[in-house]
């Protein structure tokens, strides 16, 4: 683990910046929603507008990555917290939606660049680092959500919180220089080495995992405050607990994935995550809801990184960034589409039923998607036991 941490000294900073930015947003989400005068559906629709910006940024990310070269991670790290200042200032639906378009675009760009750079780094050193680095994201997310919740309780405006995060990101960016390395290729001339259907199925697995993760991150504080009448600090414990347990699950998954086949690990993790989310949705008490979010975090933690790492290690060097970006486009739609989906479902069915719908989707990974992925892998002569 110490060797893996040393190997992640550059890329881990990138995932830490992603975590602190999204963690602060989750803690301030109820305030931002009220500040802009939005209902559940309006809030969800504004986040959906933001998702469109993220998808477009993901599509362009490989070109931006090549153009920026060694300073790509540094530029993205500074751009993200700067962009998140905008939603903190919004006073209407239009202003909030436009601000989320910019912030989500910055997040989508940074996500693809960070994952593609990490995947290439894994290939060069011959070690899997995806779970560990995503664990650093989750740990940073949790610390940020808890800290931002305390700041919100103390009356600190969200814009000032992000000004502070911008300063932190600028310091971390100093160690993010990642020169592009020309990797030896395997001579493959096909545009991709994986069948398109296999990439889509793997992407949908991560899509569901990230949908559940991000939807819960953005709505858990509101669920706790609405269902149990707690204050801002207690509400922020929802996303904080999720972040901490996801960090535990991902850092632990760094070791487990070396001993358990990827497919089996994803099935077990998805079933555990579904159980936790059902429990949180219909918890009779605040402590049971906290427990549910904790179980969800441990389970959902390993699904996305395991699928991304497995796909990334099968790709030839010269196609990796483009192929990863296409898969991440599928997967990270959940990272941004999840919150608005919860908003629309909450408006129609109530927030607990909306969370339960996400839990049912997680079960589909265990019983439908991973078996389908195994079948496709066998057909393509690839191993996914």
The pTM of the whole model exceeds 0.75: no
What pLDDT is recorded for position 16? 92
What's the pLDDT at 250? 81
Dist CA 316 CA 313 (whole Å): 8
Alpha carbon 345 to its chain's center: 21
Is the sign of the CA dihedral 154, 157, 158, 164 positive or negative? negative
Q: Match 């002569």 to its residue by tokens.
A: 381
DSSP reduced 3-state for 315: coil
- Complete domains list, the chain, with CATH: 9-379 (1.20.1250.20)
Per-residue pLDDT of the chain (385 residues; tens, 9 = 90+): 677 777 777 888 999 999 999 889 988 988 999 999 988 788 878 888 887 888 788 888 888 888 888 889 999 999 999 999 999 999 999 999 999 999 999 998 998 888 888 877 777 777 778 878 888 887 888 889 889 988 998 899 999 999 999 999 999 998 788 765 545 444 444 444 445 777 788 888 988 988 887 777 767 888 888 889 888 778 878 878 887 888 888 888 777 877 887 788 899 999 999 999 999 999 999 999 999 999 999 999 889 888 877 776 665 565 566 666 677 778 766 656 666 777 788 888 888 898 899 899 999 999 999 998 888 767 754 444 4
Which structure tokens are listed for 340?
């608005």
**Residue located via tokens 């589409």:** 337
Q: How far apart are CA 192 and CA 89, in angstroms?
A: 43
Determine the Cα–Cα distance for residues 40 and 157; give it in Å rounded to an integer: 22
Tens of pLDDT, residue by residue over 84-138, are: 999 999 999 999 999 999 999 999 899 888 888 887 777 777 777 887 888 888 7
Q: How far apart are CA 226 and CA 298, in angstroms?
A: 24
Q: What is the Cα–Cα distance from 86 to 166, expressed in whole angstroms?
A: 13
Phi, psi (rounded to 5 degrees) for 36: -90, 0
Alpha-carbon torsion (65, 66, 67, 72), positive or negative: positive
> What burial class does residue 139 get, using C-beta atoms within 10 Å of its C-beta: 0-12 exposed, 13-18 middle, 19+ buried?
buried
The pLDDT score that the predictor gives to residue 258 is 74
């Amino acid at each position: 683990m110490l060797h893996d941490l040393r190997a992640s000294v550059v890329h881990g900073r990138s995932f830490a910046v992603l975590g602190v930015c999204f963690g602060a947003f989750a803690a301030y989400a109820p305030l931002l929603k009220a500040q802009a005068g939005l209902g559940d559906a309006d809030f969800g629709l504004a986040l959906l507008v933001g998702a469109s910006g993220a998808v477009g940024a993901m599509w362009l990310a490989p070109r931006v990555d090549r153009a920026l070269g060694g300073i790509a991670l540094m530029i993205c790290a500074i751009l993200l917290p700067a962009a998140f200042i905008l939603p903190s200032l919004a006073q209407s639906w239009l202003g909030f939606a436009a601000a989320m378009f910019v912030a989500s675009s910055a997040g989508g760009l940074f996500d693809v660049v960070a994952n593609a750079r990490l995947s290439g780094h894994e290939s060069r050193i011959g070690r899997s680092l995806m779970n560990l680095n995503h664990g650093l994201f989750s740990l940073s997310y949790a610390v940020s959500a808890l800290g931002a919740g305390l700041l919100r309780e103390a009356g600190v405006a969200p814009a000032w919180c992000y000004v502070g995060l911008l300063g932190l990101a600028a310091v971390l960016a100093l160690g993010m220089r990642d020169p592009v390395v020309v990797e030896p290729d395997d001579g493959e001339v096909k545009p991709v080495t994986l069948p398109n259907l296999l990439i889509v199925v793997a992407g949908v697995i991560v899509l569901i995992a990230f949908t559940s993760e991000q939807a819960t991150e953005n709505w858990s504080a509101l669920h706790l405050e609405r269902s149990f009448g707690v204050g801002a600090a207690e509400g922020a414990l929802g996303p904080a607990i999720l972040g901490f347990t996801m960090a535990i699950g991902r850092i632990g998954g760094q070791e487990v994935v070396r001993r358990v086949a990827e497919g089996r690990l994803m099935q077990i993790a998805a079933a555990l995550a579904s159980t936790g989310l059902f429990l949180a949705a219909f918890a009779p008490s605040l402590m049971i809801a906290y427990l549910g979010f904790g179980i969800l975090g441990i389970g959902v933690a390993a699904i996305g990184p395991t699928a991304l790492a497995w796909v990334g290690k099968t790709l030839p060097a010269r196609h990796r960034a483009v192929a990863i970006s296409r898969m991440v486009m599928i997967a990270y739609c959940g990272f941004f589409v999840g919150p608005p989906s919860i908003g629309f479902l909450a408006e129609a069915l109530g927030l607990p039923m909306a969370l339960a719908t996400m839990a049912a989707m997680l079960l589909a990974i265990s019983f439908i998607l991973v078996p389908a992925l195994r079948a496709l892998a066998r057909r393509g002569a690839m191993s996914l036991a």
